Structure 1
Amino acid sequence: MFSPNFSFTLWAGIKPLVTLFHFDIPQALEDEYGGLLSPKIVKDYLDYVDFCFKTFGDQVKLWVTMNEPNGLCINGYTFGIFAPGRSSNYAGNCTVGNSATGPYIVAHNLLLAHGGAVKLYKDKYQTALNWLFIYPKGLQELLLYIKENYNNPVIYITENGMADANNRSLPIKDALKDSLRIRYHYGHLSYLFKAIKEGVNVKGYYVWSFFDDFEWDASYTVQFGLIFVDFNNNLRRYLKYSAYMFKLFLLK
């Protein structure tokens, strides 16, 4: 089992936020009982998160139970374009699956797993933590609504970003000029700053993503990163203009 070490991030002053599940069901559980289609997954998931809380809890204080469960239900079990690739013939090009029932069964089991993980953490490990919120637009209005209606909780915006097409024929010097991403992040950060000035209790804002990455449904055809990755040249990195914008914004 891969075991991360957060010592360096803590030493560098970075507070890690860990997503416990990001679409990657172990193949052994798929083979044994059908993975997320079986209620057995709930107990196995809770055993896993209990291990993570116990093993890494001294270094990690911020946890997300699962990434985009709606996307997994739809793309994995309605259209079959995510693993495990299940759909009816009319909905996707898969050899197994039922698009009429599979997504709902998986959603039910994911909700049980999420609820169980939250209860486990609160009952056994939590000392002080409120909730996590994320929303891609209307940011100031939503944050103010939460402040006024939910007793101004501590908020972490766990993922915010935008993708553009990965045009590999474009010269690198041109690919670094990501003006649309600059406007996107600058706009959201500006609204976030206004909300904070109005008393919203935001403690963290996480840009998606630091580097150009692999996306589950788009592979390397899109780019989210503040840093350009040259996949044709040994993964060499280059700062995009948006990275400089983000740095200057943080220095204000």
Structure 2
Amino acid sequence: MNDFPEGFIFGSGVSAFQWEGAVDEDGRTPSIWDTFLNSSNGPTRDMGSDGYHKYKEDVRLMYDMGLHAFRFSISWPRLIPSGRGPVNPKGLWFYKNLIYELKRHGIEPHVTLYHNDLPQVLEDEYGGWVDRKIIDDFTAFADICFREFGHSVKFWSTINEPNMLAWGGYDSGYIPPNHCSPPFGRLNCSRGNSSTEPYIALHNMLLAHASTARLYQQKYKDKQNGSVGITCFAFAVVPLTSSEEDEVAAQRANAFFLGWVLHPLVFGDYPEVMKRRAGKRLPSFSQEESDLVKGSSDFLGVIHYTTMSIAHSSISRHEDLISDMNVMLIPYGNSTLVKFDVLPWGLEGVLEYIKQNYGNPPVYILENGTPTNHNSSLNDVGRVEYIHAYIAAVLNSVKNGSDIRGYFQWSLVDLLEFIDANYTYGLYYVNFSDPERKRSPKTSALWYSTFLKGTTVSSQDPKNLSLLSSSPSFSSQ
């Protein structure tokens, strides 16, 4: 750890819906996640990890581990049950108490305002992110958060991975709010238009982010001296073959996924290839909107897990995000949705791409981790290898000039996972069969703690490390 620049922070994170549980307690109303899981065959662990009741215990785990910071999100339907209007006092006190507990233990709170838990009432009223009404409602929600918590919170992320929310929620329909249309949807969707809604939803997310950032700048910045950023889902991309078609396809993939969010933030407009391929289905920024969005992010949160091989697709129609992109996305190596190869060079590639193409902004790695079978051994040496390798990759990127300010492992404890409930990311095992949701440290928790308390990270190939077997201690020279 001593190899990193002074002030570099290490943390871990959770999201409100996956961690808190208590979905119908103390005034909280349903979010689009509740509706989605209750209407599907997915997991229905209503208690989640029960962080709502066990936050003090979890903060103590963070403190004992040596975490510098903790990333969590605020549940909009817990704080403002009607989506707009009156604040729920019990929801307000929960977050105030959580933040107080973190600060009391010397742990910096990094708060995400929106981690895809839109109040269902707003989805029912006007369709949520596909209607511009959401911009004012989100800004008002953020205003309450800044006012109530901003004296203690200095790092705000507005919206978690809008590119993935737009693709998964409004094109393929595999995450809430489950909008899609044939033939593109992976699930049966009751509403939506895969050709237009992904672009509309992300456009409104960018405008809501920019509106919120302006609000903070004008009303709170001088008093609270914090910063406001946004996050971006970023898998690394490599051409499947050395053909020119696949090389160009990989460039398109970067433009459509990273550029979709970063280009407007840096240049005030979408990438030319997106405008050309999506045509009128891609919303346009007015000059005022362009000026508002451009430069609206104090930092970029990067969410990275794995690398994808990219092949040119022969599909000629341009009717949804993936067909507009004209690529095939293929997990690299032996990776799957619930198993990631250790490919740290992929993260280095993402960070280098951002540095080279978007002005080397301040970056926080806000999610990085790997899932393991929830019922496997606590001796999760595969996760140790993964975390070690990716932290070493971050250090390499820092040495190569990327302005990276922090690294957050995902996730602190086992959480409710929707892709496959049998696979979890936690440093601490959570017994979901136990009403008390008992936490037990995995080897990765002990390793991360050892690292945070002074172990240095070698820049040598992380694959050469001698992994822990039964002992939590680890040193790389």
Instruction: Please classify the TM superposition score into its range, dividing by the shorter chain length.
Output: 0.7 to 0.9
- 1:55-204 equivalence runs, <5 A: 55-90=148-183, 91=185, 92-126=187-221, 127=225, 129=227, 130-134=298-302, 136=304, 137-138=344-345, 139-140=347-348, 154-166=362-374, 168=375, 170=376, 175-196=377-398, 202-204=404-406
CA change 1:63–1:190 in 2 (3 A) is: same
1:243 aligns with 2:451: no
> 1:152 deviation in Å?
6.9
User: 1:228: which partner in 2?
Assistant: 429
Query: AA paired with 2:113?
Result: L
CA change 1:156–1:37 in 2 (3 A) is: same
CA change 1:23–1:152 in 2 (3 A) is: closer
2-structure distance, mates of 1:149, 1:36:
28
> 1:142 deviation in Å?
5.7
Moved more, 100-109 or 121-130: 121-130
SS at match of 1:65: strand
Moved more, 56-65 or 121-130: 121-130
SS at match of 1:134: strand
Query: AA paired with 1:160?
Result: N
User: 1:37: which partner in 2?
Assistant: 130
* 5+ residue gaps, structure 2: 1-87, 228-297, 305-343, 456-477
> 1:232 deviation in Å?
2.2
Moved more, 125-134 or 13-22: 125-134
User: 1:19: which partner in 2?
Assistant: 112
Is the 2:153–2:226 Cα contact (8 Å) retained in structure 1? no
CA change 1:153–1:52 in 2 (3 A) is: same
Moved more, 191-200 or 82-91: 191-200
> 1:42 deviation in Å?
0.6
> 1:202 deviation in Å?
4.0
Query: AA paired with 2:166?
Result: C
> 1:181 deviation in Å?
0.9
Per-residue CA distance 1:68-112 (angstroms, 9 max, x = gap): 112221222222222222221432312222222221221111111
Is the 2:157–2:301 Cα contact (8 Å) retained in structure 1? no
* 5+ residue gaps, structure 1: none
User: 2:414: which partner in 1?
Assistant: 212
1:49 aligns with 2:142: yes
CA change 1:110–1:152 in 2 (3 A) is: closer
**Matched length:** 245
2-structure distance, mates of 1:145, 1:81:
28
> 1:153 deviation in Å?
5.7
CA change 1:178–1:40 in 2 (3 A) is: same
CA change 1:79–1:241 in 2 (3 A) is: same
Is the 2:161–2:303 Cα contact (8 Å) retained in structure 1? no
2-structure distance, mates of 1:16, 1:206:
12
CA change 1:25–1:128 in 2 (3 A) is: closer
SS at match of 2:111: strand
Moved more, 86-95 or 66-75: 86-95
Query: AA paired with 2:372?
Result: D
1-structure distance, mates of 2:127, 2:226:
36
2-structure distance, mates of 1:149, 1:101:
27
Is the 2:429–2:440 Cα contact (8 Å) retained in structure 1? yes
Per-residue CA distance 1:159-187 (angstroms, 9 max, x = gap): 21112233x4x4xxxx2121221111001
